[in-house]
Structure 1
Amino acid sequence: MGRVTTREKLLRVRDGAVSERVDTLVVEEPLEVRLDGEPLTVTMRTPGHDFDLAAGFLVSEGVVARSSDIAAIRYCAGAAEDGANTYNILDVAVAAGVALPEASLQRNFYTTSSCGLCGKASLEAVRTTSRWTVADDPVRIDHRAFAAMPERLRAAQRVFDRTGGLHAAGLFDAAGELLALREDVGRHNAVDKLVGWAVREDRLPLRGTALMVSGRASFELAQKAVMAGIPVLAAVSAPSSLAVGLAADAGLTLVGFLRGASMNVYAGRHRVVVERDAAAQAPATART
């Protein structure tokens, strides 16, 4: 297993004063994912939970939906000069009868940690048909439970506390309790690691849950939520127009700018329960 953090020397300048110090940085390394021995994709990620990352990626591509679809996941020999395993190559063997992805749905061989969508062959290819539907999920979440999610997510980010350089994806229940969390230098990787954990635990579809991400809500993150059967996606920052469109089409509740008690609900507002203060709702009484 590779290192999650590393220490590097730097020159610090503050108000004209110069000093040398050592800083803790998050590690970013390539991970090549192979499917039945054939190269599928390379993504830049933070080492850790690599098996979950690969499994979650395959859920997003519509290849697997349960743990029995995966026969095995193993590290392959790396490319270190001394012949040691770099733990940067994974091979996923699918079970008999599991169809491999079509060429039109495969990503280019290299994708960045910041944008998993960049390697897609086309926008239409991203609209993979999910095995689950979220439109009929009856879950409703109180606005106060939403308000508690950002702080609970932040409190559970152990590596972020040391580096300040990681995204997080958290899975919450309808009461706002954190069920699981994954961190990564890439937003989409953090979500894949979370979904991969769920599929390997045979928890899909993730009905009655909410996915919260520490950055913005992109089209791909909305797609990953739908592909995992998650009915609610919340983000601390803005959604994209494509994410809003997909959420509306799929019946996904999409919340953006979730910061404390403030939020914007862009789609699926029926799942957000807001109980206004009784005094605020009461009609004004005429003064005499």
Structure 2
Amino acid sequence: MKTLRQGTRIDHFEALRFENGAMQPIEDAVVVEEPLELRLVYFHEDHPVHTRVAVTMRTPGNDVELAIGFLFGEGIIQDYRDIDRFEHTGPSGDRPNNRNILTITLKPHVSVDAFRMERHFFTSASCGLCGKAALETVRVGDYPPLWADGPLLTPERLWSLPRTLRQAQTLFNETGGLHAAALFDAEGHLLALREDVGRHNALDKLIGHFLLEEKAAVLRRGIVLLSGRASFELVQKAAKAGIPVVAAVGAPSSLAVDLARECGMTLIGFLREGRFNVYSAPHRMVYALSPSLAT
């Protein structure tokens, strides 16, 4: 068995498939997974400080969006204009178009709390966080007020979102091995979608895309759909970006529900055809537009 072709985001491997009582050789598409090291350069008393921020396993592509979304979600930057420049470096191996180190240099006016940043990343990476006390430990600053009166949601509109997401997941359709995060407008139109082997990375890329395009206001009027479960960290990233509705195909965690209720975010789980659960802020639901469900 061998690798048949190396690609930027998809590799092809020889494999054996057992089906209908027989084993057959096949060529299978497998999503690429590689580490990305994020390095940060910021200024303290006019002197540059170099630090390693994080290493994440990701699907190559949209690395700058990933970095912007990550730094914003962690409260390190308030706007993409806090960033002076990006530089891709590092060995590319057998994929010459890939560079797995991304250095982000902040502008001199940006203040970075190095102790808090180190403490936060250590805590987030640890295991065993539980209970409401963990909220104060891992939360990232304050969250902006959410759009209180919208978007208004009907069951039919919500049920259409996973279908639209799946149809647009080009890499998932080929490999079956990716998470996705998508932003829809109030009418249920798909605005953008990002895929990645890491569910946190997919959302960081999505948020980073709109920050990079100077369209943060679009996030504050939108609906995010997650292809998996809704964890505390994902809900926190959405809350930090001012997103009023988060829907997930899978289940939420208890801390995710706590945070959504605290922020006034509508959190929806188990979104499948014909069903879903609303865990917080149900005032955005409009059942009157669904006569079959109003009886």
- The alignment's TM-score, normalised by the length of structure 2, stands at 0.85
Secondary structure at 2:141's aligned position in 1? coil
Q: Which residue of 1 aligns with 2:111?
A: 99
Secondary structure at 1:199's aligned position in 2? helix
> How far apart are residue 133 of structure 1 and its match?
2.0
Q: Which residue of 1 aligns with 2:3?
A: none
> How far apart are residue 278 of structure 1 and its match?
4.6
> How far apart are residue 76 of structure 1 and its match?
1.7
**How do 1:83-232 and structure 2 match up within 5 A?**
86-106=98-118, 117-118=124-125, 123=134, 124-130=136-142, 132-134=144-146, 136=148, 138-205=150-217, 206-232=219-245
Task: Answer whether contact 1:108 1:120 (CA < 8 A) is retained.
Answer: no
Give the fraction of aligned pairs with identical amino acids, expressed as a percent. 44
Secondary structure at 1:78's aligned position in 2? coil
Q: Distance in 2 between matches of 1:189 and 1:218?
A: 13
> How far apart are residue 280 of structure 1 and its match?
6.8
Unaligned 5+ segments in structure 1 are 110-115, 283-288
Q: Which residue of 1 aligns with 2:21?
A: 16
2:37 to 32, 39, 47: 32
> How far apart are residue 221 of structure 1 and its match?
0.5
Q: Which residue of 2 aligns with 1:286?
A: none
1:259 to 253, 272, 281: 272
* Equivalent position amino acid for 2:36 in 1: L
Task: Answer whether contact 1:74 1:90 (CA < 8 A) is retained.
Answer: yes
* Equivalent position amino acid for 2:269 in 1: G
Distance 1:65 1:131, change over 3 A: farther
Q: Distance in 2 between matches of 1:172 and 1:77?
A: 36
* Equivalent position amino acid for 2:112 in 1: L
Task: Answer whether contact 2:8 2:60 (CA < 8 A) is retained.
Answer: yes
> How far apart are residue 80 of structure 1 and its match?
4.2
Task: Answer whether contact 2:90 2:99 (CA < 8 A) is retained.
Answer: yes
* Equivalent position amino acid for 1:22 in 2: E
Q: Distance in 1 between matches of 2:92 and 2:17?
A: 35
- Taking only aligned residues, the RMSD between alpha carbons, in angstroms, comes to 2.6
Unaligned 5+ segments in structure 2 are 1-6, 42-49
Secondary structure at 1:141's aligned position in 2? coil
Secondary structure at 2:183's aligned position in 1? strand
The one-character-per-residue Cα deviations of 1:80-109 (angstroms, maximum 9, x if unpaired) are: 499x67410001111221122443334658
> How far apart are residue 130 of structure 1 and its match?
3.4
* Equivalent position amino acid for 1:207 in 2: R
Task: Answer whether contact 2:92 2:99 (CA < 8 A) is retained.
Answer: no
Q: Which residue of 2 aligns with 1:7?
A: 12
Secondary structure at 2:27's aligned position in 1? strand
Greater Cα shift, 200-209 or 227-236: 200-209
2:85 to 64, 69, 72: 72
Secondary structure at 1:152's aligned position in 2? helix
Greater Cα shift, 192-201 or 84-93: 84-93
